[in-house]
Structures are given as C-alpha cells and as structure tokens.
Amino acid sequence: MIVVIKNDAPQEKVDELKQMLEGYGVTLNLSVGTHSTVIGLLGDTSAIDADLIAAQDIVEAVKRVQEPYKKANRKFHPENTVINIKPGVDIGGKSLAVIAGPCSVESEEQIIEVAKRVKAAGANFLRGGAFKPRTSPYSFQGLKAEGLELLKIARRETGLPIVTEIMSVEHLPLFEDVDIIQVGARNMQNFEMLKELGKIDKPILLKRGLANTIEELLMSAEYIMSGGNENVILCERGIRTFETYTRNTLDISAVPVLKRLSHLPVIVDPSHAGGLPWLVEPLTKAAIAVGADGVMIEVHNNPKKALSDGAQSLTPDQFDNVMKMVKKYAAIGDRTI
C-alpha cells in the first residue's frame, strides 16, 4: 500500500501518521521528494482500512498495490486449483464441468427424468434447487428437505454428483450428503453463512452477486477459504446493468479476469445470465472459449409447466443439441467432460 502525503503537511502530523501506520504491524518505507512525500507500507496490509487512512487531513492519496485477498490470490498459489468431487470427477484443470438440471426440484418423476436425460446427453453433474430464493414470497419456495432427498434418489439412479443451493446456515446439517453446496447470487455476501461454510470441507459453488464487483466476489471466496475450506468454485451468472433485453448481462470478461487474479475454478451460468433459452448455446460457447472450467445450465422436462425459471430452461432435446457443441469445443481445447 502506498500513502501520498500532502505538500504542506507539518512534520509533527507526518510523525503522527507514521505512528498510526506502524501500529498496523507493517514496515514503513519513506521517500521524501521535493514536491511530495510517499510512504510505502511493506508487509501484510490486508486488514488495513485504506479509506480510514485516506480520510486523514494530511493524506493526498492511498493506493493499494496488493489485493486484499490472499487465499484466493493466484500470486500466492500460482497453480490452478483442481477440486476432486469423487473418484475420477474433478472441477478445474483439464476437466470441463457441465452441471445441468432444473431450477427447482419439483417431484421424484421430474428430477429423475431430467437427471437421466442430462446424463445421457453428457452432463457430469445434476443441479436442482430445493430451497429457492424467490423475489416474491408468493412464488414456489422449493420442496426443501424433501427436495434434497429427491436429489439423492436421482443421484442413486444416475451416479451424477448433486449441486444444490443453501439459503440459511440453519439448514447446513441437511446438506451433509450433498456433493457441492451452491451459494446463490443473493447470498454472496451473507458473511455469517460464508464463515460457517469455511468450517466444512465440502466444495462450495459461489455465485457472483447481482451487483457485486469481481473483487467483492473474491473477498467472499476469501471468507470461506480463510475459515479453512479451500474448495471454492466461482460462478459468473450475469450482473445487473441498464440493459433490459437479457435477464442479466453476462460479464464474460470476468472469466479471464478471475482466472488471472485467482487460482480457483471459474464456471459460467448462461441460463440466469441471459434468461432466454436460445442464448444458452452462444453464451456457453463464449464461456468455453474464454477459458471457463465449466457451465451450469437449467434443463426442465416441461419448461412451460416449471415452477421456477421455466422461461429460461432448455428442454432435454435442446440440451442434447447444446451438448453436441460443448463436446466439439471440449475436444478442440483438449478438455475432458
């Protein structure tokens, strides 16, 4: 971190500031020029409040030269993280994860039918929401614990590992036998929940918040990782912009940016990003082309009758077509599904 001192700062104020900075346990490197004085802070500055320093009278500017996240930072972990989900199934590295399934688990028949179809098409994970974060309290809220049981039945039938969203830390015991716990966009900054998820060792799929920056997403990953759980998968699912044609705006550049800043696997959710079934294929193509470690796609056996997100869900036949393209792209990139 670099602190630029104002020209006319009296010496005793500079000394006071130096004392304040030394209180953070960092080493100071002072360079006094004819026009300004610059203090370099050496050491761990991640816990320092840069805004508090900038608010001091004699401070002209403060600049962070190091990111405030450590565990998630590629600088301290240059190799890509590969998360092993079960023998022979990884997320990250050469693997291309295809997580597919309905927005919500609705019934045993529905989840088993969709699971069988997405498996036959080549998906390697089954998704399905049991606890649903809905904008309206009058909308379907999910089958909750029963939904989790139905997912497990679908896993037994197909062998596909299951991915499902947690909405409250109180429900954590119910998720013991889930393969990947999803933290949805609306809970990306539920810090108390992130801390609890840091205490377990189950992989966490962390979705980017609707209006959160890339750095905020990485700081949320840091919450989980600093608790000891380093099995975090990041997910770009579109952000809020002024554009209304699509449900959200897929921030495709977030993928290479996240891969540059962090060693964690990054996947893309083209269903929630575009909100339109026909956009799933081109956005999936883009995601693979820019280096995503996988995609998460909503598939429903009867989208018109879906209890949530039917408007963006693919039919199993449409998913079959998307998978043909995914397999072609995976082969070009020497990726395994």
Residue with smaller CB distance to Mn ion, 74 or 186: 186
In this chain, which stretch among 68-76, 178-186, 222-230, 299-307 interacts with ligand PEP, using CB under 6 A?
178-186
170: DSSP letter: G
309 near Mn ion (CB under 5 A): yes
- Residue 293 or 309 with smaller CB distance to Mn ion: 309
Q: Which does 71 bind (CB under 5 to 8 A by kind): Mn ion, ligand PEP, none?
A: none
- The CA radius of gyration of the chain, in Å to the nearest whole number, is 23
* Residue 207 binding result from ligand PEP, Mn ion, none, given CB thresholds of 5 to 8 Å by partner type: ligand PEP
Contacts of 290 (CB under 8 A, 6+ apart): 252, 253, 255, 256
Nearer to ligand PEP, 263 or 272 (CB): 272
Contacts of 240 (CB under 8 A, 6+ apart): 210, 211, 248, 249
Q: List the interface residues with ligand PEP, window 243-302 (CB under 6 A).
A: 269, 272
Q: Which does 237 bind (CB under 5 to 8 A by kind): Mn ion, ligand PEP, none?
A: ligand PEP
- How is residue 233 written in tokens? 């998968």
Write down the H helix ranges in 211-315: 214-226, 254-261, 270-274, 277-289
If phi > 0 it is left, if psi is from -120 to 50 it is alpha, else beta; for residue 122 that is: left
Residues that contact ligand PEP, how many (by CB under 6 A): 10
One of 103, 111, 126, 323 touching Mn ion (CB under 5 A): 103
Q: 2 is written with which tokens? A: 């670099």
Burial class of residue 306 (count of CB atoms within 10 Å of its CB; 0-12, 13-18, 19+): buried
Contact flag: residue 237 with ligand PEP (CB under 6 A): yes
State the nearest-atom distance from the C-beta of 251 to ligand PEP, in Å: 13
The reply on whether position 179 binds Mn ion by CB under 5 A is no
Minimum CB distance to Mn ion smaller for 132 or for 335: 132
Q: Find the shortest distance in angstroms from Cβ 85 to ligand PEP.
A: 18
Stretch that binds ligand PEP, among 31-39, 184-192, 239-247, 283-291 (CB under 6 A): 184-192
Beta carbons within 8 Å of 93's beta carbon, 6+ residues apart: 80, 82, 293
Burial of residue 320 (number of CB atoms within 10 Å: 0-12, 13-18, 19+) = middle
Q: Is 206 in the site for ligand PEP (CB under 6 A)?
A: no
**CB of 127 vs Mn ion, minimal distance in Å:** 9
Rounded Cα distance, 90 and 186, in Å: 26
Residue 117, interface with ligand PEP (CB under 6 A)? no
Q: Which is nearer to ligand PEP, 235 or 261 (CB)?
A: 235
Choosing from 129, 270, 294, 316, the residue that interacts with ligand PEP (CB under 6 A) is 129
- Give the whole-angstrom CA distance, residue 282 versus residue 246: 13
The footprint of Mn ion on this chain (CB under 5 A) covers a number of residues equal to 2
Minimum CB separation of residue 104 from ligand PEP in Å reads 8
- 185 interacts with ligand PEP by CB under 6 A: yes
Residues whose CB is less than 8 angstroms from the CB of residue 113 and which lie 6 or more positions away in sequence, other chains included: 301
Give the Cα separation of 139 and 199 in Å (integer). 32
DSSP state of 333: T
Cα–Cα distance for residue pair 134/127, rounded to 1 Å: 17
β-bridge partners, 2:
40, 63
Residues numbered 66 to 105 that lie near ligand PEP (CB under 6 A) are 103
Binding part of the chain for Mn ion, among 70-78, 103-111, 120-128, 200-208 by CB under 5 A, reads 103-111
Contacts with ligand PEP by CB under 6 A lie at 103, 129, 133, 184-186, 207, 237, 269, 272
Contacts with Mn ion by CB under 5 A lie at 103, 309
